[in-house]
Amino acid sequence: MRAVVRSTMLLGACLMLSACGSLLPSERAEVQSPFLDYQDAQSRFNQVDPGKTTRSQLYALGFDPLSQGNAKMLSFIDVRLMFVQPNIPIDYLPDGLITCLQAKDRCVGYSFDFSKTDSQRVGSFWADIFNFRKRREVQGWSFRPVFVLIDDVVVHKTSNGEPNIRRREDKKNPLGPLQGAGEYFSDQLK
């Protein structure tokens, strides 16, 4: 009977230790967007034709600052600060931006920030839990378009982003749980 209990406990301990990797925390961060992925966002962005696309068409493509969120409404001054740099002549700017700067109060902009990331802790459960080593893998995408409009027509567009985020973070603490204890105690003495 003891042998059966001992075997059962040993089997349970082995199963528990082998599953420890799944006990590491994970995190998912998604900025709400109407887009499935980077390619979807880029495809819809490419459908915007400066000089032709209207505000309502822009909204229909998913770039609506009021219903989608994650947007900044830019005034004429904000647009000027974003695109005009002291060491770059105004003549260097695209025609749509120059027209916008001349239109002043009739010029507005929309700046969006869409992203989706998935962060997984990987590595040894015991090294992680006792703070000796924390490893994290981050995957995802981000897309940041800017649209400039005069009245109700898009006159300029630009974008940047990261279509394929693949990042690995590795933090080592040789003293494990004691690492940072000095900071903790010094904060308590203040």
pTM for the whole structure: 0.72
Residue with the bigger pLDDT between 136 and 27: it is 136
Q: How would DSSP label each residue in 105-157?
A: GGEEEEEE-EEEEEEEEES-HHHHHTTSEEEEEEEEEEEEEEEEEETTEEEEE
pLDDT at residue 14, as a whole number: 47
Q: Which residue's entry shows tokens 């695209």? A: 94
* Residue 135 confidence (pLDDT): 82
* Residue 29 per-residue DSSP state: E
Domain range annotation of the chain: 38-173
CA distance linking residue 53 with residue 25, whole number of Å: 45
Tokens 């109060």 correspond to 105
| pLDDT, tens digit (0-9, with 9 covering 90-100), for 99-150 | 999 999 999 999 999 988 888 888 777 777 777 778 888 889 999 999 999 9
Determine the Cα–Cα distance for residues 135 and 124; give it in Å rounded to an integer: 9
pLDDT at 175: 73
pLDDT band at 162, cuts 50/70/90?
very high
